[in-house]
Amino acid sequence: MAKVLLGFMGAGKSTIARGLDPNYLDMDAMIEKRLGMSIAEFFSENGEEAFRQIESEVLAELLQRDRVVSTGGGVVISQRNRDLLKTNTDNIYLKSDFETLYQRIAADKDNQRPLFLNNSKEELAAIFQERQAWYEEVASRVLDVTKLSPDEIIEELR
């Protein structure tokens, strides 16, 4: 069974996945490999809809693997993906508050997320709010990571 890490951008999904298993599978990295370009480039050339289509295909493949999986923050948007996720029983939602996440996203110059670049802070906060129920809907476990260090989170999830 896959151990799937879910959460908004900046929640630390990849960092925690790497700590749990150095051979973890990173959904965004797999998508970028398939696209042959960065997600930011693909978004600006082809739009979000096209990205979501490929994201869905990659999710279905990853759920077949018996590994730790780090997802992209928008994987829960579609009903199709939520239904796919519900077939897996180890889905961990790394929950945090918007302000903490926003500061991390804004500071992350190596990974300039298109949703950060294309939306105001207020718009991003609305996207965050809208997604809460979706993360909770598919999660088998919710962990509030706001006040935890990466080591503490990894320890908790081992």
Q: Does 95 contact ligand S3P by CB under 6 A?
A: no
Residues 99-158 that bind ligand S3P (CB under 6 A): 113-115
Interacting residue with ligand S3P among 16, 19, 42, 73 (CB under 6 A): 73
Strands in 25-26's sheet, in edge-to-edge order, are 25-26, 68-70, 3-6, 91-95, 141-144
Q: Does 74 contact ligand S3P by CB under 6 A?
A: yes
Instruction: From 124, 154, 141, 156, select the one nearest 8 (Cα to Cα).
Output: 124
Q: Are 8 and 99 in contact (CB under 8 A)?
A: no
CB of 71 to ligand S3P, least distance (A): 7
Nearer Cβ to ligand S3P, position 9 or 92? 9
CB of 155 to ligand S3P, least distance (A): 22
Q: What's phi and psi for 152, nearest 5 deg?
A: -65, -40
CB of 29 to ligand S3P, least distance (A): 9
With the CA atoms of 6, 12, 18 and 23 taken in that order, what torsion angle do they form, in degrees rounded to the nearest 10? 40
Interacting residue with ligand S3P among 5, 6, 9, 58 (CB under 6 A): 9
Q: Is 89 helix (H, G, I), strand (E, B) or coil?
A: coil
Q: 25-45: buried (b, 16+ CB within 10 Å) or exposed (e) per residue?
A: bbbbebbbeebeeebbebbee
Q: Does 59 contact ligand S3P by CB under 6 A?
A: no
Confirm or deny that 28 is annotated as ligand binding.
Answer: yes
Binding-site annotation, residues for Mg(2+): 14
Residues that bind ligand S3P (CB under 6 A): 9, 13, 28, 39, 72-74, 113-115
Binding-site annotation, residues: 10-15, 28, 52, 73, 113, 131
